[in-house]
Amino acid sequence: MNDRVSITVTDHVADVRLTRADKMNAIDPQMFEAIGEVIDSLHARKDVRCVVLSGEGKAFCAGLDMTSMAAGGSGLSHDARNDQGSILPQHVTWGWRNLPMPVIAAVHGVAFGGGFQIMSGADIRIAAPGTRFAIRESYWGLVPDMAGFPIWRGLVRDDVLRELVYTSREFDADEALHHGFVTRVAHAPHAAALELAHLIAAKSPNAIRGAKRLCNLAFDADARSLLEAETTEQMAVIGKPAMMEQVAANIQKRPAVFHDAE
């Protein structure tokens, strides 16, 4: 990681922040690399049960730093980062979806272009009321290529997506909520995201990771595969120590105490 992204883990919640505030967290090659490294490091962590992703300063992320990209080219690796074939510019979005634990994006200011796609990779997206959004790529003569399309197809109507992609127009948090790009609107999205993350982190990490795998499969798997996956995931947790601890804690009205995810 470099000075583009910070990560702090407290009580099993990873607080990940884009830290290029002077550029509204615009994405340059170093930012691509830093986000990819954070995702890769989180993938192996058994102690992290939920992730909150946000941006420091006035914005979540203003999209690509076009000055930086124009000056030196992308300079980015196009080697696949996982077995689903995502390259680095896609990994910084798809990687959040591919993490074993839930990811909550706390969004404020603007989420344009690549920033909008990175936000989209989170399981849950909480936005401040004044946030502005745009699928901005056509404004620059580009197409969205950071894994937005395989995610958006599960969030928004086809014709709505086409209009926003073709026009690159801005839209507000209320419209984003209406279309399904945003889960909910909150005046303090980072605080709301942390509160939700700690609620999730208090659950059995094995059950939550299994539930995320099922949610990801529900994206495009056939019914037979999903039915089999439900049974597999349930058999992996039912009657196991983490489940028994969750039951005991609920009955005794106390916080559950879990070991790291298996």
pLDDT at residue number 1: 57
Q: Is 38's pLDDT higher than 60?
A: yes
**Is the same domain home to 56 and 80?**
yes
Q: Would you say residue 262 lies in a domain? A: no
Q: Would you say residue 28 lies in a domain? A: yes
pLDDT in tens, 169-198: 999 999 999 999 999 999 999 999 999 999
> Which domain CATH number covers 210?
1.10.12.10
CA 15 to chain centre: 12
Q: Is 14's pLDDT higher than 70?
A: yes
pLDDT in tens, 57-116: 999 999 999 887 665 555 455 666 665 678 999 999 999 999 999 999 999 999 999 999
Q: Which residues contact 161 (CB under 8 A, 6 or more apart)?
A: 152, 153
- Residues linked to residue 127 through DSSP beta bridges, in sequence order: 107, 185
In the numeric block, which tokens belong to residue 128? Answer: 């401040």
Read off the pLDDT band of 219 (50, 70, 90). Answer: confident
User: Residue 225's domain spans which residues?
Assistant: 204-252
**Is the same domain home to 145 and 54?**
yes
**Is the same domain home to 155 and 234?**
no
Q: Would you say residue 181 lies in a domain? A: yes
> Which domain CATH number covers 31?
3.90.226.10
pLDDT at residue number 157: 97
List the 13-18 sheet strands across, edge first.
5-10, 13-18, 50-55, 103-107, 124-127, 184-185
pTM for the model: 0.94
CA 216 to chain centre: 12
Q: Is 148's pLDDT higher than 60?
A: yes
**Strand blocks (E) in the chain:** 5-10, 13-18, 50-55, 103-107, 110-112, 124-127, 132-134, 171-172, 184-185
Q: Is 235's pLDDT higher than 90?
A: yes
**Is the same domain home to 84 and 153?**
yes
**Is the same domain home to 196 and 214?**
no
Q: Would you say residue 258 lies in a domain? A: no
**Is the same domain home to 160 and 210?**
no
**Is the same domain home to 180 and 60?**
yes
Q: Is 52's pLDDT higher than 60?
A: yes
List, as one string, the DSSP characters of 28-84.
-HHHHHHHHHHHHHHHT-SS--EEEEEESTT-SB--B-HHHHHHH------S--STT
**Is the same domain home to 88 and 131?**
yes
pLDDT at residue number 95: 97
Read off the pLDDT band of 2 (50, 70, 90). Answer: confident
pLDDT at residue number 76: 56
**Is the same domain home to 240 and 193?**
no
Q: Would you say residue 117 lies in a domain? A: yes
**Is the same domain home to 191 and 215?**
no
**Is the same domain home to 105 and 210?**
no
Number of domains in the chain: 2
Q: Would you say residue 259 lies in a domain? A: no
